[in-house]
Amino acid sequence: MTDNSIYRLQQSMTPVSPIAGKLINNAKNNQGKQNVAPFDQILSQELTGVKFSQHALQRLQSRNIKLGQTELLKLNEAVEKASQKGANESLVFMSNSNLALVVSVKNKTVITIMDGANSKDNVFTNIDSAVIV
């Protein structure tokens, strides 16, 4: 038969010296600060919405693609819809602008972007959803 009793340790605990305690406290404080982003940085990221990867920025420049406020607003709405449905990686097709964007929904980041001429005959992989706006 098993003994399910809980036993307490009878050994006394010795307090930590003040110097060691001070070092431990500082280590804990520094560790917490390294992992936490400032509130204003998080707030501005949430307000700006979708960001663009370096690769996507290069594609915008090399293909001379201009995104206006209306396109960015539609893109943010499309990413939000995909997020609500539980998508991770999504293809966003903007029919009015004839643009195709591969977006990381979790990170709210455009991975790549192409116009109609460059998106023909392409196969989009590693996506789990598509949003047409």
69-113 residue pLDDT tens:
889 899 999 999 999 999 999 999 998 889 999 999 999 999 999
Integer Cα distance of 98 and 74 in angstroms: 13
Q: Is the pTM of this model over 0.75?
A: no
Q: Dump pLDDT digits (tens) for 25-68.
A: 444 555 555 556 677 666 655 666 899 999 999 999 999 998 88
Task: Please tell me whether residues 81 and 44 are part of one structural domain.
Answer: no
Cβ(103)–Cβ(92) under 8 Å? yes
Report the domain count for the chain. 2
Task: Please tell me whether residues 126 and 85 are part of one structural domain.
Answer: yes
CA angle (76 as vertex; 70, 82 as ends), nearest 5: 135
Task: Please tell me whether residues 117 and 57 are part of one structural domain.
Answer: yes
CA angle (108 as vertex; 49, 56 as ends), nearest 5: 100
Task: Give the sheet arrangement for strand 89-94, strand by strand.
Answer: 51-52, 109-115, 99-104, 89-94, 129-132
CB atoms within 10 A of CB 101: 27
